[in-house]
Structure 1
């Protein structure tokens, strides 16, 4: 009887070890090799600046309340409240100690496209790499080149404040297994080049779905509710539906949307408010053709 119990216990332990090892292998960080980033050439700084504004980097990474040129000092420090705890946005200035000054293009590219940090650790998806993974290598190279031209800051953001079990980074591999991929969020039949460009901007650097799409209990997007509106991640109110089925925007033309993104004024002469006001100011810096492409995509997505 004792021998049988011991064999049973050893089998159970073995299964647990095998299960844990399988989980780790399947969900381990998987950065792209350095060779992937080796031959992209010199960055196009002008394009990198456009990618910077498309991505709204300053809205999160500048010091809270920064204005004017201070918005280009990416010192971090903004606190992002969530159901999983409080995330503190890091310094991504070129400072060698507090920021990304010691990083390489490969380090930066793997953070953007694989959600993997410089030390090989999983990054939390509060940093929207789930959207950035759709960006082109060229745009990431150009953005990296532009970031290195910005002022340095020695500010060190505090660590995230996350309760157990959300403070266990290993579990992020399971989250990635369930939700992380680089496939289009929606498939639009017969999309022309303008719609394709808008899809790239909205689903990639613009990461619009991060606020405008509802999530399940683990923080993954509800795939059949893309851009259909969601609770405000900052805790108050809601983020609107921006599909053609929206009660507010459903009657807007593509021209109305493009004008709103440029000026901040709706067809009813209301103005952008809350966090969208900052988003609109960033998008206003893009070429008119990009705002028109975003509008064309938003008119082409499925109504919810």
Structure 2
């Protein structure tokens, strides 16, 4: 009996220690002037508009996205308009930077990794200032996004501290001197802002990406969707080249004339079609030469 009480005490103490375990780093943003146009471009490329909008339900743009149904429950992208009560209207730029790069709310709550903040950690202060400037132009929408619907123990957010310690790895986005400019730009986009690996990499039982199978595809995406392999070998085997892949990222049309559907169709329509041709070619350049990176 004493051993039983001791075990319960240790578990409780461990849980309390995890709950108060601090995460995140202080943010001190330089006084940078944000570029609204560039920020809007980054928001498109990063999927912010696509994820946080749900036109099918009649919601206003950026007032909350379509529910993401997963094995851990249902996650709903929140309202990103300038409404002070239901959006980010009462945030500071430091709050925004911490949310985007560290996955922490202004109150210090941990965001679920359905929000791909791990991929956005490479954004510099100017990127954040530009994004912030763009989001400040979004009209307020006083309509709260529906809450997440997750059950115990997933609803205990302090447990995400352990998940982050085990699985939160920053993707490689820094420029390599042995590679050309287009390849490095593609690396920055594919591995970071555009977060291609979020869908095209399979996940383990705890929802973390299997990095040994990066870009090898996934058959277990939210909503029962799948994503094909986009490794250099798979792309070349299926007839992809830099030019036709860049064209597909704009048009949604594959080399065989088929149309990219499902989630990738949405990505093209809401994100990559809005990017400039140089960035689409950079992404294609990197993807077809990412082996060993």
TM norm. shorter chain > 0.5: yes
Please report how far the alpha carbon of residue 181 of structure 1 lies from its aligned counterpart in structure 2 after TM superposition.
Answer: 3.0
5+ unaligned residues in a row in structure 1: which ranges?
none
Q: How does 1:289-300 map to 2 (within 5 A)?
A: 289-300=278-289
Residue in structure 1 matching 2:66, options 63, 75, 78: 78
Task: Sort the Cα spacing of 1:287 and 1:165 in 2 relative to 1 into closer, same or farther, 3 A.
Answer: same
Q: Normalising by the residue count of structure 2, what TM-score does the alignment of the two structures yield?
A: 0.89
Q: How does 1:13-162 map to 2 (within 5 A)?
A: 19-20=14-15, 23-24=18-19, 27-30=21-24, 32-35=25-28, 37=29, 39-65=30-56, 73-162=61-150
Task: Sort the Cα spacing of 1:262 and 1:85 in 2 relative to 1 into closer, same or farther, 3 A.
Answer: same
Q: Normalising by the residue count of structure 1, what TM-score does the alignment of the two structures yield?
A: 0.86
Task: Sort the Cα spacing of 1:47 and 1:185 in 2 relative to 1 into closer, same or farther, 3 A.
Answer: closer
Residues 225, 262 of structure 2: 8 Å contact kept: no
Find the structure with the greater CA-based Rg: 1
CA-to-partner distance for each residue in 1:167-212, whole Å, 9 max, x for gaps? 0000000110011132418997832221111111111111111111
Distance in 1 separating the partners of 2:259 and 2:14: 54
The size of the alignment, in residue pairs, is 291
Please report how far the alpha carbon of residue 245 of structure 1 lies from its aligned counterpart in structure 2 after TM superposition.
Answer: 2.0
5+ unaligned residues in a row in structure 2: which ranges?
none
C-alpha RMSD over aligned residues: 2.7
Residues 202, 208 of structure 1: 8 Å contact kept: yes
Distance in 2 separating the partners of 1:186 and 1:218: 28
Could you list the runs of 4 or more consecutive aligned residues of structure 1 that deviate by over 3 angstroms after TM superposition? Answer: 8-25, 185-189, 247-250
Aligned to 2:234: 246
Residues 27, 94 of structure 2: 8 Å contact kept: yes
Residues 175, 184 of structure 2: 8 Å contact kept: no
